[in-house]
Amino acid sequence: MVATTGIRGLNEEELKSAKFNEAELKRVEAWSVSAAEAQQFAAQGKLSARPLEYLPAPAAQR
């Protein structure tokens, strides 16, 4: 199984035993913003988009 996560501190066993939690998913979704809101926020902070290349996959995943 190959998986990626943006959360630190979870090991493979914890990921395997994870259970779906609809209430928590809805809680996270409530924090989302639209693309227009994100662009407005970036403009207020004088931020600009920069294209980035994908990182190469580790040799073991090729």
pLDDT < 70 stretches in the chain: 1-7, 60-62
- The domain total for the chain is 1
- Which pLDDT value is given to residue 7? 60
**Domain span including residue 37:** 18-47
d(CA 53, CA 39): 21
41 part of a folded domain: yes
25 part of a folded domain: yes
- Which pLDDT value is given to residue 12? 84
58 part of a folded domain: no
- Which pLDDT value is given to residue 60? 66
pTM of the model: 0.46
- Which pLDDT value is given to residue 25? 95
Residues 6+ apart with CB under 8 A from 62: none
- Which pLDDT value is given to residue 2? 57
- SS3 state of residue 40: helix
3 part of a folded domain: no
28 part of a folded domain: yes
Contact 15, 3 (CB under 8 A): yes
23 part of a folded domain: yes
